[in-house]
Amino acid sequence: MSRRIGLLGGTFDPIHFGHLRSALEVGELLGLDEVRLVPSARPPHRSLPGASARQRLNMVRLAAEAGGNLVVDDRELLRDRPSYTVETLESLRAEIGDDVALFMIMGWDAFCGLPSWHRWESLLDLASLVVLQRPDYDLEVPEVLKDLLAARSVTDPGQSYASHGEIVCLAQTPLAISATHIRALLGEGRSPRFLLPDAVLNYIEINGLYQP
C-alpha cells in the first residue's frame, strides 16, 4: 500500500484541541502515515488573523510537539500573496509524486462553500476530500456538490486506496471549540485553558496575543 498523507489547513488563530482532535481521528480512521498541519498566510476568504503568520506557525509547532503523526508544513507562509488551496495541493503533489494517497481534511461548512474557491474543480484531481460532519450541521449542499457527492463518495474509507479523486464523509467527536471563542475569552481577560494545549496558551500569554 502506498503512503497516505492527510492535510489540515487553516488560519490556526490560535490552534486548539478541536483542530488536533480532528487530525487524530482522521489519521486513525484512514490509517494515515502523517497529518500535515498547514497554516495559511493570507486566507482569501477570511479577515486578517489576530496573530502574525510567524506567531501562528510557532503555535502550530508547539501543538504538534504533543506527538503522534503530526507534521508542520509552512509552504503557504512562503508565498507573498493569498493562499489558494489548489496551489498548495499542486505544490505538495509535485513533491510527493502521484502514487501517494493525499487526503485534504475540511469541515462540512467549508465543503458547502467549495464552489466559491479558486479553481475548486481541480481539487479532486490532486487529492481526496475528507469532510468532517458535526451532529449540528445544517448547511444546505449546493446542487453541484450533490452531484459530486453522488459520483465520488466512498462508503468504506478503510478500503479506499486511491491517490486522489474520492470524497470521504466522517462523523467527528463534537467539540464546541472555536478560535473565535478563544480570542473573545482572552480579549475579556478570561482564561481559555483546557480549550487548547498549555504550550500554546503559554506562548499566547508570553507574547501578549489577543489582548484588549
Classify residue 211: in a domain, yes or no.
Answer: no
Classify residue 42: in a domain, yes or no.
Answer: yes
How far is residue 208's CA from residue 204's CA, in Å, rounded to a whole number? Answer: 6
How far is residue 176's CA from residue 135's CA, in Å, rounded to a whole number? Answer: 11
How far is residue 41's CA from residue 119's CA, in Å, rounded to a whole number? Answer: 19
Classify residue 80: in a domain, yes or no.
Answer: yes
C-alpha cell at 79: 508565498
Q: What is the pLDDT of residues 132-185, one digit of tens each?
A: 986 555 667 888 898 898 889 887 766 666 789 999 999 888 888 999 999 999
C-alpha cell at 71: 507534521
How far is residue 112's CA from residue 107's CA, in Å, rounded to a whole number? Answer: 9
Whats the size of the chain, residue-wise?
212
User: What's the CATH code of the domain at 114?
Assistant: 3.40.50.620
Q: Which residue has better confidence, 203 or 78? A: 203
What is the pLDDT, as a whole number, of residue 28?
93
How far is residue 64's CA from residue 70's CA, in Å, rounded to a whole number? Answer: 6
Classify residue 212: in a domain, yes or no.
Answer: no
What is the pLDDT, as a whole number, of residue 4?
94
What is the pLDDT, as a whole number, of residue 78?
85
Classify residue 119: in a domain, yes or no.
Answer: yes
Mean pLDDT of 97-116: 93
Q: What is the pLDDT of residues 12-69, one digit of tens each?
A: 999 999 999 999 999 999 999 999 999 997 665 666 788 999 999 999 999 999 777 9
The range of the structural domain enclosing residue 113 comes to: 4-206
48-87 in b/e burial notation, b at 16+ Cβ within 10 A?
ebbbebebbbbbbbbbbeeeebbebbebbbeeeeebbbbb
- Answer yes or no: is pLDDT of 8 > 90: yes
Decide if 53 contacts 76 (C-beta within 8 A). no
What is the pLDDT, as a whole number, of residue 212?
80
pTM of this prediction? Answer: 0.91
Domain count, the chain: 1
C-alpha cell at 212: 484588549
Classify residue 103: in a domain, yes or no.
Answer: yes
Mean pLDDT of 124-135: 87
How far is residue 121's CA from residue 114's CA, in Å, rounded to a whole number? Answer: 9
